[in-house]
Amino acid sequence: MHLEQKHIHGEDFIGLFGVATDKYAILSENFPETAVLDVPVLNTHIYGTQLVGMFCAGNSNAFIVPYFIEDSELKVIKNFLDEFGVEIVKIRDKVTAIGNLVACSDRGAVISPKFSDNSVFSCLGVETVKADVAGHEEVGACCVATNKGFLVHPDAEEDLKFFSDIFKVNGMAGSVNFGFPFVKSGVIANSNGYIAGRRTSGIELGRIDDALGFF
């Protein structure tokens, strides 16, 4: 089974609480046990919060964290990622909700125009484009990308080719949690499977299956 639906203490916006790649997943300390991602998992916190998915982003080459991450947290994550040869990179920028501002996979990345310097994203080892998603600068919140597909905000229906060219896979526009358009907030995904919030409807799940290459 490639799909699980979960919530955390009644919260269906589970994408705020974790990041998954095809090498590893980093999830909040209170994240329910999961098997569908089928990669080693680290449960931890960022700046004393559970919002790992909101503050961080990454792919199989690098994991990006905000400048205010505590040294003890940085050490825990670095020790975990060293096993997979993944670099941990601290970004110093006026914006800090990196997970809401970066959409990436092992094939490409889109970063928000809000970032003052995009050269630091070379650590991801892929083509990186600075762009919005149908006028929304929170590109990480608007897009979930894996090495098999991508799901974007419903307003980006006409921009699918643009994202296909960047991520080098096909994808679709859709929603999560019964009509919420900022799709990353409700999904954690890699090429093996995905976790969606429990309020995500059957029609939305079918759309996500198709978008992420599971259908």
pLDDT in tens, 6-52: 999 889 999 999 999 999 999 999 999 999 999 999 999 999 999 99
The pTM of this model reads 0.97
CA–CA separation, 67 and 126 (whole Å): 22
157, 47, 162: which is closest to 103 by C-alpha? 162
pLDDT tens, position by position, 75-118: 999 999 999 999 999 999 999 999 999 999 999 999 999 998 88
Helix spans in 44-150 (H):
52-55, 71-82, 98-101, 139-142
Sketch out the chain's domains with CATH numbers: 8-211 (3.75.10.10)
CA–CA separation, 114 and 112 (whole Å): 5
Instruction: Give the tokens for residue 74.
Output: 């940085």
Rounded to the nearest 5 degrees, what angle is found at the Cα of 151, between the Cα atoms of 125 and 137?
70
Cβ neighbours of 78 (radius 10 Å): 14
CA–CA separation, 57 and 90 (whole Å): 11
Is the pLDDT at 119 greater than 90? The verdict is no
Mean pLDDT of the chain: 97
Helix spans in 40-171 (H):
52-55, 71-82, 98-101, 139-142, 160-167
* Residue 204 and residue 187 in contact, taking contact as beta carbons nearer than 8 Å: no
